[in-house]
A and B are shown apart, each in its own frame.
Chain A
Amino acid sequence: MKEVNQRYARHYSLKGFGLQGQQKLASAKVLVIGAGGLGCPALQYLTAAGVGTITIVDHDMVSLSNLQRQVLFTTEDIGKPKAEVASRRLKSLNPEITITFKSESISTLNALELIAEHDVTIDCTDNFATRYLINDACVLLDKPLIFGAISEYEGQVSVFNVADVTGNKLNYRHLFPTPPNPLEVQDCNEAGVLGVLPGIIGTLQATEAIKVITGIGEVQAGTLMMFNLLNYATHIFELSADDSVFKLIPKDMAVFKATDYEWLCGMKEKGINELSPQKFLSVLDKSDTIIIDVREHNELPKALFQCISLPLSGLTDNLPEIKENNIILFCQSGKRSLKAGQLFLDRYREQKKISHLTGGILALQEHDYG
């Protein structure tokens, strides 16, 4: 970086920030996991601000329903890898920094190495399995983690593994020690979100990253901020330091690598096959196979393929006899079908092959329409 760069003129003149703050940004390495609703604004502002090295990790492709809130993408980008498109757009915003991308999922196999290589990690993901995975990895590596999450009209922001005013380093497990099971929470795809909300929360995450890097202001360490879009109610909650939560985190890197976070978060069950939308479509017409919609009657979208309707609410008390040997279940987002799968698994054990559509009919719709 040039000593003085006109690009950052408004940072140089900013009291308490100046050339020194800019130099700290230029030498910082930031990892952004997830280039969706939260990731797009976070990435844009960090790139514009001149963070020296940015790595984007996202395995997903741009789809039509993303465009309502994921502001780095255009209609022409549908079907293209998010990490790659984001990286290209950000490079034209600021060609003077290093931006790299990985079009792959974050997993226990790549997380430790990626997080260790960076100064700050920003969690912009959209599911609990990945969130607990990233949290635990950052605790093991003692790395700052900027947390942000949204639902409907409300968002949460916190900074983990940075010493708070009392010197404690807290993490997500101090708030929610163990992951919720999928039925205990609303699914984001089902619940919906106002498009501007991730814009605000993602921008707050970028702000916290800049604070951690440059030392300005007060970092949201040891606290959880909740922001409501409808009335701008903002609450800052203090987390309690409780050492017992560290027992819930894998004790070392080897144990971490062997941990199955999707299973821990109830996103999959041993004995129930996960079907991707593509795989689901390919087995629809197979013989000796029954497709069961476990949603309640009249839920939309309607299935445009042959299936029978057995709402989950009725299955708990009365599980009907199924003669086919392949049972394929689906619902809206893949949570209820997994629950129904458990009921059939308890009944039939290894006698029948039980599968469910991962991500539900919403994922199928996304797949169909790109």
Chain B
Amino acid sequence: MEAIDTAVLKAALQIEFPALADKKYAIAVNNKVITDTKGLSENDVVALMPPYSGG
């Protein structure tokens, strides 16, 4: 998937997976959790992490 930053990526993912729009998740780029939109380069690894409450 091509995207210049995490905001663009998020929008693209929501089109492909509409259910994502209603879900809460944190985003990590190259294993670092980001708080603001971050620019992406070739081969960056982006992870989406949902909050879990189960115990």
Looking at A149, A155, A236, which has the most chain B CB atoms within 10 Å of its CB?
Answer: A149
Among the listed stretches A10-18, A36-44, A271-279, which one makes contact with chain B, having 4 or more residues with CB under 8 Å of it? A36-44
Could you tell me the distance in whole angstroms from the C-beta of B42 to the nearest C-beta in chain A?
21
Contacts of B53 in A (CB 8 A): 125-128, 131, 149, 151, 185, 188
Looking at B23, B31, B54, B55, which has the most chain A CB atoms within 10 Å of its CB?
Answer: B54
Could you tell me the distance in whole angstroms from the C-beta of B17 to the nearest C-beta in chain A?
15
Chain A proximity mask over B16-45: 1 for CB below 8 Å, otherwise 0:
000000111010100111110000000000
Interface presence of B49 (CB below 8 A):
yes
Chain B proximity mask over A137-159: 1 for CB below 8 Å, otherwise 0:
00000000000111100111000
A235, B45: Cα distance in complex, Å: 12
Could you tell me the distance in whole angstroms from the C-beta of B3 to the nearest C-beta in chain A?
20
Contacts of A226 in B (CB 8 A): 49
Segment 159-206 of A: residues with Cβ below 8 Å from B: 174-176, 180-181, 183-186, 188, 191, 193, 198
A242, B51: Cα distance in complex, Å: 18
Number of contacting residues on B, CB 8 A?
A: 18
Contacts of A155 in B (CB 8 A): 52
Tell which of A37, A180, A184, A242 touches B55, judged by Cβ atoms closer than 8 Å.
A37
A266, B28: Cα distance in complex, Å: 26
Tell which of B24, B26, B31, B54 touches A188, judged by Cβ atoms closer than 8 Å.
B54
Contacts of B22 in A (CB 8 A): 183-184
Interface presence of A239 (CB below 8 A):
yes
* Chain A contact surface mostly: mixed
Tell which of A126, A128, A183, A235 touches B51, judged by Cβ atoms closer than 8 Å.
A128
A237, B29: Cα distance in complex, Å: 9
Quick one: given A180-B24, A184-B23, A185-B23, are A238 and B32 in contact (CB under 8 Å)?
yes
Tell which of B24, B49, B54 touches A150, judged by Cβ atoms closer than 8 Å.
B54
Quick one: given A188-B53, A198-B55, are A240 and B31 in contact (CB under 8 Å)?
no
Contacts of B31 in A (CB 8 A): 235-238
Tell which of B24, B32, B33, B50 touches A151, judged by Cβ atoms closer than 8 Å.
B50
Interface presence of B47 (CB below 8 A):
yes
Could you tell me the distance in whole angstroms from the C-beta of A125 to the nearest C-beta in chain B?
5
Q: Is the pair A126, B55 in contact by a Cβ cutoff of 8 Å?
A: yes
Contacts of B35 in A (CB 8 A): 240, 242
A37, B55: Cα distance in complex, Å: 5
Could you tell me the distance in whole angstroms from the C-beta of B29 to the nearest C-beta in chain A?
10
Q: Is the pair A224, B49 in contact by a Cβ cutoff of 8 Å?
A: yes
Contacts of B24 in A (CB 8 A): 176, 180-181, 184-185
Contacts of B47 in A (CB 8 A): 235, 237
A155, B22: Cα distance in complex, Å: 22
Quick one: given A151-B50, A237-B47, A237-B49, are A34 and B33 in contact (CB under 8 Å)?
no
Tell which of B26, B50, B51, B55 touches A124, judged by Cβ atoms closer than 8 Å.
B55
Contacts of B52 in A (CB 8 A): 149-151, 154-156, 185, 188
A240, B11: Cα distance in complex, Å: 23
Contacts of A191 in B (CB 8 A): 54
Instruction: Look across to chain A and name the residue whose beta carbon is closest to the beta carbon of B28.
Output: A237
Quick one: given A238-B33, A240-B34, A242-B35, are A185 and B50 in contact (CB under 8 Å)?
yes
Looking at B47, B50, B52, which has the most chain A CB atoms within 10 Å of its CB?
Answer: B52
Contacts of A156 in B (CB 8 A): 49, 52
Please, could you name 30 A-B residue pairs with CB atoms under 8 Å apart, sorted by A?
A36-B55, A37-B54, A39-B55, A123-B55, A125-B55, A126-B53, A126-B54, A128-B51, A131-B53, A148-B55, A149-B52, A149-B53, A150-B55, A151-B50, A156-B49, A156-B52, A180-B24, A180-B51, A184-B22, A185-B53, A198-B54, A224-B49, A226-B49, A236-B31, A237-B28, A237-B32, A237-B47, A238-B32, A240-B33, A240-B35
